Chains A and B, each alone.
Chain A
Amino acid sequence: MHRRGVGAGAIAKKKLAEAKYKERGTVLAEDQLAQMSKQLDMFKTNLEEFASKHKQEIRKNPEFRVQFQDMCATIGVDPLASGKGFWSEMLGVGDFYYELGVQIIEVCLALKHRNGGLITLEELHQQVLKGRGKFAQDVSQDDLIRAIKKLKALGTGFGIIPVSGTYLIQSVPAELNMDHTVVLQLAEKNGYVTVSDIKASLRWETERARQVLEHLLKEGLAWLDLQAPGEAHYWLPGLFTDLYSQEITAEEAREALP
């Protein structure tokens, strides 16, 4: 039986074919790859120089970090894509954000039983700062948002929901559509919402309002208060700190929260 594709003859033929291909089209690509390799080395040197002069600036100055990130985004570069990237290795931006990611996950996990996996950016910020301790570098809210955006790759259901002037951070894979988001935004003012509130502000029918509220209850994001005066109140623990900081002093808030 004559077998094809094996034996010295076949190997030689394959090499010839490869050589021919190389001659034709891929010579161009090979050239460019070599060029890229050279330019990469040069860029690495430039980056090292930049790092030696300005690495501190990035570490200490949140506004500079924002500018840096924006510029990278404009030209199509993600400095946080990999810990093995030049940016991360030489400027140290990577470790800063990846560690922040770990701290964010831990805070969200710790508070999940209380707020169902929904937390304001402000509370998250405070808790993260507390956890980092006195001597660690300060972080801004912008830093947190960037770290969270990266965490989405882990498939954990991290989400960022805009509400008046700030953001809610979702850390559990709960399905939240536009309706749910809008109700959350409505609830942000007082920390709770009622069916009447929804009907008045959003002009929805009762059934639509009820469905949204039931979903939030099921996902553990809302608590039902049947003893409230008038009608049932749906409270959102994730929004509580905002409420407290508006009407109660810091000291009392600290004592009130578990």
Chain B
Amino acid sequence: MIESKKHRPAASYTPLAGDVPTTKIKFDAGTLLLSTHRLIWRDQRNHECCMAIPLSQIVFIEEQAAGIGKSAKIVVHLHPAPPNKELGPLQSSKNSYIKLSFKEHGQIEFYRRLSEEMTQRRWENMPVSQSFQTNRGPQPGRIRAVGIVGIERKLEEKRKETDKNISEAFEDLSKLMVKAKEMVELSKSIANKIKDKQGDITEDETIRFKSYLLSMGIANPVTRETYGSGTQYHMQLAKQLAGILQAPLEERGGIMSLTEVYCLVNRARGMELLSPEDLVNACKMLEALKLPLRLRVFDSGVMVIELQSHKEEEMVASALETVSEKGSLTSEEFAKLVGMSVLLAKERLLLAEKMGHLCRDDSVEGLRFYPNLFMTQS
């Protein structure tokens, strides 16, 4: 049973500092595959070139993070080769490990999967018909190369060091979380007080409270009709959005889906991006702030931003004309004709149907809209 992962690491033999330098042989631009029994590398350009190592040959694997000019790597430490091993890419090597260099990502997932396979050791339970070397794992009394013991010790030290760093981070994180939890409790108690004395709390205080919740990432337990869960921040954001979106909306016929807006705005910002919730909360305030845009939610749940001047119901009239000219149209066809996204084209046709101008023909070939002759020809 083969399970391949389509990543593109390279295998290269490079010496560790202090080791005797060996001839550096480069195998790059290949695909690394992981099965339950083997690690397989296949040259991307020359398909004849293919190498494999049984997983049973692996003592230990470790990660090397990427750095400037360095790609992320997995170092695979191996048992000494059994005497009957076939010839490999090198006559011999002073090193007892290979390095897999991930030039184009995939290292994290691959390391995870390889670790899993190493833990599960499924090759021990599954008989394989092909004849490749299988090492039945460490056998008692087996002679180990001296180099391996030294390496294992180094690795153990390094692991302890990393563990220490991680555990320090976790410790600090836990302490931080305790303090954060206190904030959550305090906010709940305040929220209860506000609920009990609804109307006695000033607008100002509520706004302050909401901004505290926003900073901490605590969900707002109190809903006020005026601003939804918006805060001063969202009000400012709404005004900014009105400025940023005016031109793009005009270019796109006065209407854009909220997903498009999210991508547009965040791509423009580059950093200090908006969360999806930030965007939604700001858009909910557009109408209340009397800005020239508004948020609209269609029956399907699709959310859009429209220019105030945009009248979707009027667009429906022109949609009807277009459909009548062509006899009938699907959302895709209509979208192409008019130059809209399929998502919004579909919403417009559905609205036209809701208003009684169009009829649908729903079959396995797709959803097609026709002018509603029941209405026009009575």
Contact = CB atoms under 8 A, between A and B. Distances in A.
Interface of A: 18, 21, 24-26, 28-30, 32-33, 35-37, 39-40, 42-44, 46-47, 50, 53-54, 57, 60-62, 64, 67-68, 71-72, 74-89, 94-95, 98-99, 101-102, 105-106, 125-126, 129-130, 132, 134, 138-141, 150-157, 172-173, 214, 217-218, 220, 224, 245-246, 249-251, 253-254
B103 interface: yes
8 contacts: A33-B212, A36-B183, A76-B181, A80-B217, A86-B216, A134-B71, A154-B258, A155-B301
Given A32-B193, A43-B180, A173-B300, 14 more contacts: A18-B202, A30-B205, A36-B190, A75-B184, A77-B184, A82-B277, A83-B275, A84-B233, A84-B278, A85-B217, A86-B215, A95-B273, A155-B302, A251-B31
Interface string B139-171: 000000000000000000000000001100110
B186 to A, nearest CB: 5
Contacts of B56: none
Given A62-B108, A81-B217, A155-B302, A36 B200 contact: no
Contact of B170 (A40, A62, A67): A67
B317 interface: no
Contact of B183 (A39, A68, A155): A39
Contacts of B208: 33, 37
B249 interface: no
Contact of A156 (B106, B215, B302): B302
A102 B6 contact: no
A224 B259 CA distance: 30
B297 A250 contact: no
B278 A83 contact: yes
Contacts of B258: 154-156
B63 to A, nearest CB: 10
Interface residues on B, range: 35 or more
A172 B341 CA distance: 12
Contact of A154 (B170, B200, B262): B262
Given A32-B189, A140-B109, A155-B297, A251 B42 contact: yes
Given A46-B179, A105-B259, A250-B6, A33 B205 contact: yes
Given A54-B173, A153-B277, A126 B6 contact: yes
B302 A95 contact: no
B106 A129 contact: yes
Contact of A26 (B33, B174, B200, B212): B200
A106 B267 CA distance: 11
A101 B262 contact: yes
**B109, B181, B274, B300: which has the most chain A beta carbons within 10 Å?**
B109
B194 interface: yes
Contact of B275 (A33, A76, A94): A94
Interface in B254-275: 257-259, 262-263, 266-267, 271-275
A29 B278 contact: no
Interface string B88-121: 0000000000000001111111001000000000
Interface stretch (B77-85, B239-247, B307-315, B359-367): B359-367
Contacts of A61: 166
Contacts of B225: none
A76 B218 CA distance: 7
A25 B259 CA distance: 44
A36 B186 contact: yes
A141 B109 contact: yes
Nearest to A24: B200
In the A-B complex, list the 7 residue pairs whose CB atoms are closest, starting with the nearest. A155-B303, A98-B273, A153-B276, A75-B181, A250-B6, A129-B105, A78-B217
Contacts of A80: 217, 275
A50 B168 CA distance: 11
Contact of A249 (B42, B217, B233): B42
A134 B105 contact: yes
Contacts of B26: none
B65 interface: yes
A157 B301 CA distance: 8
Given A29-B197, A98-B273, A84 B31 contact: no
B296 to A, nearest CB: 10
Nearest to B6: A250
B291 interface: no
A82 B275 contact: yes
B87 interface: no
Contacts of A157: 300-302
A99 B187 CA distance: 30
A21 B205 contact: no
